[in-house]
Amino acid sequence: MNAEQLEILAPALAVGALVAIVHAPLGIEVLKRGIVFIDLAIAQIAGLNIVLVRLWWEAPHWLWVQAIAGLSALVAALFFRWIEKSLPKEQEAVIGSSFILAASAALLALANHPQGGDEIRHILSGQILFATWEDAAAFLPVYATVFLIWAFYKRATQGLVFFLLLSAAITASVQLVGVYVVFASLILPALAVNVIDRRKVLHAWVCALLAVIGGITITTMLDLPAGPGLVFGFAITAFVYRLAFYLLGSHQPRTP
């Protein structure tokens, strides 16, 4: 890759790095709680509302899109928090059903839209290669706030706060990288480091950043869609990481 190509890809790499850094610790907590599909459901609900805003208003300002999508994600997070407390045994079933309903609603909303297929593809797999420095700057305050609260507020993983942070991060990310990459960037690095106890977040960051750099670079060189390529990037790096831990002996049962 030459300097000109790197300059073009720099905003996409920056956006991918923001997503990786913020999602890695959140994904570890999601996996720990056993609510793997909550991020997918919240992302799809936010994506549905992004679709509806663009259908109802012509060229809406990104702040309106962010506000409405964020509010919908917040409502979903509060609902899932209530389900966690009230119906814990049925939580995953409710989360999965919510995802299917949101996805179906988006398909129905765009059924007669002339660019419906492109809109669905954008929500699902994103358009990270078209990201700009303005996009990175616009969403940086959201990611910075989530990261700082997570890092310095001791109760960030507890109760409602966790769901609020997750919904804020997902709302921003789904507009930048799409539903598929949101799920992959949350869950696959967490799976990669799930067999270790020490420096788990640090290893998840490294795994996620390698996936972003490799996924974007390779798909650009091969002229392939970046979203699906990033998903495979996360999957491959997670597999390699997990295999490395296994070969190094970190697969042994962890002490209580």
Instruction: Enumerate residues 6+ apart whose C-beta is below 8 A from 9.
Output: 1, 129, 216, 217, 220
Cβ atoms of 172 and 139 closer than 8 Å: yes
How big is the CA angle at 23 (ends 119 and 240), to the nearest 5 degrees?
100
Q: Does 8 have pLDDT greater than 80?
A: no
| Structure-token pair, residue 79 | 């609902």
User: Which tens digit of pLDDT belongs to each residue from 37-57?
Assistant: 888 888 889 888 888 887 877
In this structure, the dihedral spanned by the alpha carbons of residues 22, 5, 232 and 249, taken in order and rounded to 10 degrees, is -70
User: Which tens digit of pLDDT belongs to each residue from 111-158?
Assistant: 877 766 777 777 888 888 888 999 899 899 999 999 999 999 988 887
Instruction: Enumerate residues 6+ apart whose C-beta is below 8 A from 8.
Output: none
Instruction: Give percent of the chain above pLDDT 90.
Output: 38
Residues 126, 230: Cα–Cα separation, whole Å:
10
Return the higher-pLDDT residue of 202 and 171.
202
Return the higher-pLDDT residue of 255 and 53.
53
Reference 168, options 96, 106, 77; nearest CA is 77
HSE-CB for 183 with a 13 A CA cutoff: 20
Structural domains of the chain, with CATH: 3-247 (1.10.3470.10)
Residues 57, 52: Cα–Cα separation, whole Å:
8
| pLDDT at res. 3 | 67
Least confident segment among 35-44, 96-105, 174-183: 35-44
The pTM of this model reads 0.84
Residue 88 banded pLDDT, cuts 50, 70, 90: confident
Residues 217, 34: Cα–Cα separation, whole Å:
33
Least confident segment among 78-92, 214-228, 231-245: 78-92
| pLDDT at res. 256 | 44
Q: Identify the helix (H) or strand (E) that includes residue 29.
A: helix 3-33
Q: How far is CA 149 from the centre of its chain?
A: 18
Q: What is the DSSP letter of 30?
A: H
Residues 182, 4: Cα–Cα separation, whole Å:
28
Q: Does 253 have pLDDT greater than 50?
A: no
